[in-house]
Structures are given as C-alpha cells and as structure tokens.
C-alpha cells in the first residue's frame, strides 16, 4: 500500500538484518531475488549495456580541459584517463562483492552502516545529499551552458552571472521533468543512451578522418601538434586566464597534487561505476553475469575515453585543450567549422541533459531513503507533495509506490531540496572547483566502503560472497583512492575545508536529531 510517505527505497539494514540476506552460498540467487525490487530478467549483455549507459556522460566532453591543465603533457593526460579507468574497474568489482553479499538498494549507505555503524551510513547519505549530488548537478548544468557558448566561440575564463543564471534555468528544467513522473524520467533516459553512444562514435570518426587524410595526402585537418611534437614531453601549459604555467619549476610533491587534481577530473568522467550493484539486482545470475558485465563494460569505456581524448589532441592545437571546459565542442568547431559545430553541440547538450536527468533522479531517491531512515526530516520523504500540499492524486490501497509514481507521483520535495543546494554551488563556484569538491566528497566514502570490504574479509571470512575478486583488487583501490583524497585535500584546502564543514554540520544534525527523537520517545 502506498501512502504519502511511502519509502521509495528500503531502509538501510542493521547488522543483524544484513546477516539474514544470504544464509547459504548455494541458494544465493533465490535469496537475493527475494530481496530485490527488480525482476531478474537481464543477461550479461544487458548488464554490459546498462553499465555503459550509466557511466558514459558529460565527463568525457568537459573534463579534458581541467585534466590537461593539471599535467605536463598530453601523454600524461592519457595515462590519467587510464588510471581513472583502473580505479573505476577495481572499485566496481569491490562494490559488486558487497552488492551481492548484501542484496538490496540504497547504495553504499547500508554497507557502511553494517561495517562501521549507523552514523557512518548516515554521514554517507548526508554527504551525498548536501555535497556530492548537488555538486554533480551544478557541474552538469554549467557544462551544458558553457558548451553552447563554446560553439559560438565564447570561452570565458570566469563566466559572468548570466551564464550562471542560465545554468540554474537548466537545472530547474531537469528538476521539472523528474517531478512529472517516474515513467517520464525512464523513457527520456532510454532516448539519451542512444545519443551518448552516437556522439562518442562521431567524435572518434572525426579523429580517424583527420589521421587518415594526413597519412594519405599530407593535409592536416587537425591542430598540427599531434604529429609534430612529442606526446610525453613537458610543455608550458596555457591556463584559462591566458597565463602560462612552467612545469620545470614544479617539485615532485607539488606535481603529485596536480596529478591528484587531474585524477579527480577523470574520476568524474567515470562516475557511475559504483552503480554496478544496481545492475546485479536485475541479472538472472549475478554470480557469473555481474563480473562478466563489469569486466567487459569498464574496459570498453576506458578505450572509448582514451580514444576520445586522443581525438581532442589530434583536432586541436595543444595549447587550446587546457583552456576550454567544452573540449568536444571546441574540437568539432575547429575541425568542421561553425555550422556543423552547432549540430555537435546539440548532441553533446543532449548527452549532458541525460546525465543531469539521471543524476537528479538518483538524488531524489537518495534523499527519500535518508528520510525513511529518519536521518533527515520526514517531509523530504514524501512523494507527490510540494511542502505539505498534495499535487497528485492519492494512491489507492492496492497500489504500491512504483504504481503511484508511474501515475505521476515523484519525490518533489527531495528534488526541490537538491535543486536549491545545486543552485548555491552554481552561483558560488565554477566547474573546476566543483570537480575537486565532488571528488573529495565521493571518494572519501568510497575509500571507507572498500576499506570496509577488506575488513570484512578478515572479520567475517565465512560471509557468503557470490562475487569475490582477488584481495589485491580492493587493496589497490584503497591505496589509490586514499592517496587521492589525502593529497587532494592538501592541494585544495578551500574545498577540503568546505567539505569538513559540511560533514561537521551533518554530524551535529545527526546527534541533535537523535537526542530529540529519544527525548520524544521518553515523553511518550
């Protein structure tokens, strides 16, 4: 039965509840299936397609500039894209281990609650709701607008307020679409998947044409540097404000900080790899099909990303790559001219819109899940309401939550909260600052989650694990992600301080709310 406060996601399991999920390795599939909201009717090929559609988004079009500005050479930038893919790959396999050991929805929150205690699951939810997801949507909205301006030859190092206001408008449109109904969101997402793959394919074809024309006729349709300069030789980097940065003056410790910043940009592009456990909820045989899906999808994405970035360095003069936040649009404009660039811009903007729609959809569900756990005000867990006012018809007694949402009910209050927070990030920040903030917020908890998976290997060795990668895989992820978080925080102290402040506010809110709830229970 769905009511106005029906949960969209189940509550995070307690430690004892989590133990009941899987009792014997031989009946893992049936047990897991009984706990899943989704029908298990997908195969490995479907899992491959789902992961590709989740991961490929705007990052491959927007991150190349910030990454190139943080490394001394194009070759180093491509290696950063490879390293980011390896981190995503190892992380996805580890999340698959946890996702099949503890079937159910809720992302990393139930894992952290089980491993470390309820407060850690809450802090992950708080960080995602207040920092990670709003920053993600702010970046997507900014890139959407900057891509349009870039197609018109306008690349502002410090975008004016008009750009920011247009970004807010994009955000509001995305929120409005997600507020209509779940069916509207999912149908639009299916359309955007095809656009993503088409855009990547056309970009790679453009690069291949430039290479073959040069080899066959000697005509350079690209930027010229790709065949006349060493891809791994250090060069002065041109920054968005027009100044030059000399890498010969950078110490080893400082360069590690720059590489950490570059890696944040790559990890942003690979964002979504942690959703592998959501794919598991729909596979017929996740024990076999989930690793197969991950081990084919992630390498495919890595190859696509490295190929796309190589195309940017082929089509553009190298000094241009570091100055743009819309590398794909800039490259296409340079290659085929202004007219065709408008078409490319339209495709890329559709890709970005699809990513924003999907992230806004997930953000609403995360907020409702936290409200259903009594971690945040219950009002944010309602569906079909603006504040306390009901804006859609009430569900009947025989309808579940999904049926109600298909008829128009959506977590509007949660979506409004996320829109307000994202607007603050748009108005106060820029894409490059937000990339680092997003990376710090996200990977701090990814590190804790994967570290927890390693701890469980020793604390509960008999815990059934349908997917169990070699121990070296989570250890590699923990080492890289831990270093990136620590060094990134040192190199970006302002973003780190903002994040610590957000976490401190979250911890205070948790304990104050817990105190008030306990006091109310005692009075009752």
Q: Hey, which of 27-36, 370-379, 462-471 has the most confident mean pLDDT? A: 462-471
Q: What pLDDT does residue 104 have?
A: 56
Decide if pLDDT at 414 tops 80: yes
Q: What pLDDT does residue 182 have?
A: 55
Can you tell me the mean pLDDT for 469-493? Answer: 89
Would you give the DSSP letter of residue 181?
A: -
The tens digit of pLDDT for each residue in 297-324 reads 899 999 989 999 999 999 999 988 888 8
Instruction: Give the DSSP H/E element, type plus range, for residue 385.
Output: strand 385-386
Candidates 89, 127, 213; CA nearest to 476 is 89
Q: What pLDDT does residue 150 have?
A: 75
Is residue 291 one of the residues assigned to a domain? yes
Decide if pLDDT at 24 tops 60: no
Decide if pLDDT at 251 tops 90: no
Decide if pLDDT at 475 tops 80: yes
Decide if pLDDT at 11 tops 80: no
Q: What pLDDT does residue 120 have?
A: 92
Q: How, if at all, do strands 385-386 and 389-390 pair?
A: antiparallel
Is residue 229 one of the residues assigned to a domain? yes
Confidence of residue 518 (pLDDT cuts 50, 70, 90): confident
Q: What is the CATH number of the domain that holds 389?
A: 1.20.1740.10
Confidence of residue 209 (pLDDT cuts 50, 70, 90): very high
Lowest mean pLDDT across 44-58, 118-132, 410-424: 44-58
What is the sign, positive or negative, of the torsion defined by CA atoms of 73, 74, 79, 81? positive
Q: Is 24 helix (H, G, I), strand (E, B) or coil?
A: coil
Is residue 30 one of the residues assigned to a domain? no
How many other CB atoms are found less than 10 A from the CB of residue 279? 26
At residue 390, what are phi and psi to the nearest 5 degrees? -80, 125
Is residue 21 one of the residues assigned to a domain? no
Is residue 33 one of the residues assigned to a domain? no
Lowest mean pLDDT across 13-27, 121-135, 197-211, 272-286: 13-27
The Cα 331–Cα 418 span in angstroms is 33
Is residue 3 one of the residues assigned to a domain? no
* Averaged confidence pLDDT in the chain: 79
Percent of residues, the chain, with pLDDT higher than 70: 81
Token pair listed for 64: 């190349």
Higher pLDDT, 75 or 224: 75
Is residue 356 one of the residues assigned to a domain? yes
Lowest mean pLDDT across 80-89, 216-225, 391-400: 391-400
Strand partners, 283: 42
Is residue 4 one of the residues assigned to a domain? no
The tens digit of pLDDT for each residue in 382-402 reads 777 777 777 755 444 444 434
Can you tell me the mean pLDDT for 170-185? Answer: 75
Q: Which domain holds residue 355?
A: 49-523
Structurally, the chain folds into a number of domains equal to 1
């Amino acid at each position: 039965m769905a009511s106005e406060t029906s949960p969209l996601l189940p509550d995070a399991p307690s430690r004892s509840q989590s133990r009941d999920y899987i009792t014997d390795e031989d009946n893992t599939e049936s047990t897991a299936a009984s706990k899943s909201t989704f029908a298990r009717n997908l195969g490995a090929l479907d899992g491959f397609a789902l992961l590709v559609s989740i991961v490929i988004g705007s990052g491959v079009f927007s991150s190349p500039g910030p990454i190139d500005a943080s490394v001394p050479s194009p070759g180093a930038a491509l290696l950063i894209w490879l390293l980011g893919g390896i981190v995503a790959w190892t992380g996805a396999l580890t999340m698959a281990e946890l996702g099949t050991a503890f079937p159910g929805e809720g992302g990393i929150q139930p894992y952290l609650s089980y491993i470390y205690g309820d407060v850690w699951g809450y802090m992950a939810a708080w960080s995602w709701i207040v920092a990670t997801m709003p920053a993600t949507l702010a970046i997507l909205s900014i890139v959407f607008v900057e891509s349009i301006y870039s197609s018109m030859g306008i690349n502002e190092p410090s975008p004016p307020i008009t750009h920011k206001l247009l970004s807010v408008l994009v955000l509001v449109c995305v929120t409005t679409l997600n507020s209509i109904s779940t069916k509207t969101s999912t149908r639009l997402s299916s359309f955007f998947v095809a656009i993503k793959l088409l855009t990547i394919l056309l970009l790679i074809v453009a690069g291949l044409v430039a290479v073959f024309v040069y080899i066959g006729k000697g005509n350079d349709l690209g930027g010229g540097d790709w065949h006349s300069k060493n891809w791994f030789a250090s060069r002065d980097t041109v920054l968005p404000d027009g100044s030059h940065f000399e890498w010969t003056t950078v110490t080893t410790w400082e360069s590690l900080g720059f590489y950490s910043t570059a890696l944040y940009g790559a990890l942003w592009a690979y964002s979504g790899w942690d959703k592998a456990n959501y794919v598991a909820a729909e596979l017929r045989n996740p024990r076999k099909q989930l690793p197969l899906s991950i081990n084919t999808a992630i390498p495919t994405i890595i190859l696509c990303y490295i190929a796309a970035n190589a195309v940017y360095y082929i089509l553009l003069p190298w000094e241009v790559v570091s100055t743009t936040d819309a590398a794909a649009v800039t490259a296409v404009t340079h290659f085929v001219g202004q007219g065709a660039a408008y078409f490319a811009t339209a495709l890329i903007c559709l890709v970005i819109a699809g990513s924003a729609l999907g992230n806004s959809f997930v953000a609403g569900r995360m907020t409702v899940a936290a409200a259903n756990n009594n971690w945040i005000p219950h009002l944010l867990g309602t569906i079909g309401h603006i504040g306390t006012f009901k804006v859609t018809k009430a569900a009947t007694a025989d309808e579940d939550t999904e049926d109600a949402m298909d008829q128009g009910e959506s977590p509007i209050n949660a979506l409004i909260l996320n829109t307000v927070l994202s607007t603050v990030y748009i108005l106060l920040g820029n894409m490059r600052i937000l990339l680092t903030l997003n990376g710090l917020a996200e990977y701090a908890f990814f590190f804790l989650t994967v570290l927890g998976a390693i701890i469980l290997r020793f604390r509960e060795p008999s815990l059934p694990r349908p997917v169990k990668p070699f121990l070296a895989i989570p250890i590699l992820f923990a080492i890289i992600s831990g270093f990136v978080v620590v060094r990134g925080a040192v190199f970006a102290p302002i973003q780190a301080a903002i994040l610590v402040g957000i976490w401190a506010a979250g911890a205070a809110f948790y304990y104050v709310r817990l105190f008030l709830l306990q006091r109310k229970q005692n009075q009752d």
